Amino acid sequence: MYVCLLVEMTMALATTDAHAGDSLVDVRSVDPTIVVELRYAGRNNLLSYPLYPHGTRALARPEVASGLARAQAFLRRYEYGLKIWDAYRPVAVQAKLWEASHNGDYVANPQMGVGSLHSWGIAVDATLVDSWNNPVRMPSDFDDFTPAGMWRYVGPSPEVRAHITLLQNAMLRAGFWGSRTEWWHFTIAHWQKYLPSEKAKSAAVVSGTHWEGKL
C-alpha cells in the first residue's frame, strides 16, 4: 500500500495539476539561498510517512516565488533566512491529509469549495533559520494543532516572540497574508485572482480576513 501511495504521488507531481495550471516554478530557481525541507517528503509530519517522492522540489506560482525572494532579502538584513516546509501540494496529497484528520479547522476538505490553497500554488508553509541555516526557536513545530500553533501565540520567551515577529513582518512586507490557526502558513495577497471566477466567489466566504485560512 505504501509503495502504491508513493507511485500515485510521483504521478501527481510529475503531471500538471488542474488547480495549479502550468505556471509553477521551483522556489529555489528564483532564490537558491532559500532552504527547503518539505516535511511531507519525509516521516516528520502529521502522518509519520512520506507523502511526496524523494527529491520533490518546492513549487509555487512565479508571483509566490518572487515574494519569497523579497522576504528572504529582508531577512538577510537581520542574518536570518526562510525555510520552506511545504509549497504546492497535489490534491491527492490533500485528500490523504483530510482522510487522516477530518478537522476542518486546520485541514481543508479537497472536495469542498476551493480545497487547499496549497493545491493552487498560492500558499506556502515557512519558518526561520539563522545565518548558518540552522533552525531557530519558534512557537511550535510544523502541523502543531495546539494553541502554540496559532498566529497570535508567542509564548513566554522573548527570543520566540522576536523570531515570529520577524517572520511575520518579512512575509507581510513581501505581499503575503497569514493564517489565524497556523503561524507558519502564508498565502499571497489577492490570491482570489489566481482562482477561476466561480471558485473565487465561494472562497470569499472561506477567507474573509487577512488572518483566516486553512492548511
Domains and CATH numbers, the chain: 2-206 (3.30.1380.10)
Q: Residue 109: what pLDDT?
A: 76
Low-confidence ranges of the chain (pLDDT < 70): 1-22, 102-106, 198-215
* pTM score over 0.75: yes
Q: Residue 125: what pLDDT?
A: 98
Q: Residue 195 CB: number of other CB atoms within 10 A? A: 17
Q: Which of 24, 18, 50, 22 is nearest to 37 (CA)?
A: 50
Q: Which of 152, 212, 150, 208 is nearest to 187 (CA)?
A: 212
Residue 100 in grid coordinates: 487522516
Q: Residue 14: what pLDDT?
A: 44
Q: Residue 200: what pLDDT?
A: 63
CA distance 41 to 125: 14
Q: Residue 12: what pLDDT?
A: 47
Residue carrying C-alpha cell 477530518: 102
